[in-house]
Amino acid sequence: MLFKSILIANRGEIAVRVIRACKEMGIKTIAVFSDADKDSLHVKYADDAVHIGPALSRKSYLNIDNIIGAAKKTNADAIHPGYGFLSENFNFAKACFDNHIIFIGPSAQSIAKAGDKSAARQTLMDLGIPIIPGSDDILSSSDMACKVADTVGYPVILKAAGGGGGRGMRIASNKEELITAFSIASGEAKIAFGNPDIYLEKYIEKPRHIEIQILGDHFGNYIHLAERECSIQLRYQKLIEESPSSFVDENFRVKLGKTAIRIAKAFDYTNAGTMEFLVDKNKNFYFMEVNARVQVEHPVTELVTGVDIVQQQILIAAGEKLDLKQEDIHLNGWSMECRINATDPNDNFMPSPGQIESILFPGGPGIRIDTHIHDKYMVTPFYDSLIGKLIVWAKDRPAAINRMSRALSEFEIKGIETTIGFYKKVFKNDNFQKGDIDTHFLERI
């Protein structure tokens, strides 16, 4: 039986995206908001809205008690966590369960399994799935990190155990750099995820970042929705994503997809999830991590498969069987996404908060805008700089590049600095147009 009401424990464009999915399914929506977001679009679009605290994330969007309290106050049947914040937090998923509220995502136990890096690595090694050499446990000190680095060899990369999105990531080429990076990475992780835990991996140079979207229900049924190419990054933050990948042929796609489903089964994973891989130039691939939530870049998969991933999340959480089989999934055309960030490319991509004076959105065939901003919207310094996503669909990659270039030329946001102009340059780059990319591509242009 479908839910009568869902509380969205998030903000920004993903909260708007979930609200829209719910409305199309006839489900009542409940927004939560901080002091900084009282005029945000997700508050306007929701059927009900509950204030959960001041602007600081730890007192609002990371405050489990306040969010559970809002759900109980409004008699919400379920909570959709979106991405970031508490979306991969074991304690939050468990709090939902303890309060008889459905968490729209994997179980707390699956989150714990995937999040326990030591156990996860051992599980995958037992399955014969290639993983990147690194620490088997959370690193409690820079001394411990140095010992692991001496074993696997420099360069190494530090990563946050509590989440992704580039927070808590630092590369170190020697012991001195590692000691400094450890403190910085741990601090970033605590601010972003409320969890300072760090682990370490051998750093693989010039790889591609390719991920597989999976869906799994509570009856043991799994499918994958092919790959996303996420190699266009800056400081480990994805900026441009596309599906499919020009690097992945059908045989490699099948291989990655089967591997992703094996990983999901190993973690007893249900709902939507993403298995992330680093892939070298010879198509050797290494499992990186499970993203136990909907991804920022999910729209590119939706546009080439025709599958509404957010609605599938809701149906699975409500106890429905997957109504799709692997043979139902066919890729149609090509989709690309640009993350529109309120940052200044001419000032080292520093945040650019302030009031938006006016917006002119692009339109026409094959254009999708996912955003929460509007004229006179105040971009605050309290949260992630993502203010929207420009997504295009076309018949093939060259056509998608042309369509994105056209859309970017129409897109205007006045009052703050954004990444729109920067993307115009990227889409004119010869190597980008040829698909000759890796995770360090942006550092070279």
Q: Which residues are catalytic?
A: 293
Contact at 8 Å (CB) between 317 and 294? no
Helix (H) or strand (E) holding 310, with range, is helix 309-317
What DSSP designation does 362 have? Answer: -
Contact 19, 29 (CB under 8 A): yes
Where would I find the beta strands (DSSP E) of 235-342? 237-243, 271-279, 285-291, 334-341
Measured CA angle at 318 (ends 317, 320), to 5 deg:
95
Nearest residue to 95 via CA among 58, 134, 68: 68
- Beta pairing, strands 48-53 & 28-34: parallel
Strands (E), 73-186: 78-80, 102-103, 156-160, 170-172
Q: Cite the beta strand spans of 174-221 per DSSP E.
A: 198-202, 208-216
* Residue (of 101, 82, 112) closest to 14 by Cα position: 82
Is 231 in contact with 444 (CB distance < 8 Å)?
no
Nearest to 253 by CA among 297, 293, 212, 286: 212
Q: How many CB atoms lie within 10 A of CB 246?
A: 14
Parallel, antiparallel or unpaired: strands 350-351 and 343-344: antiparallel
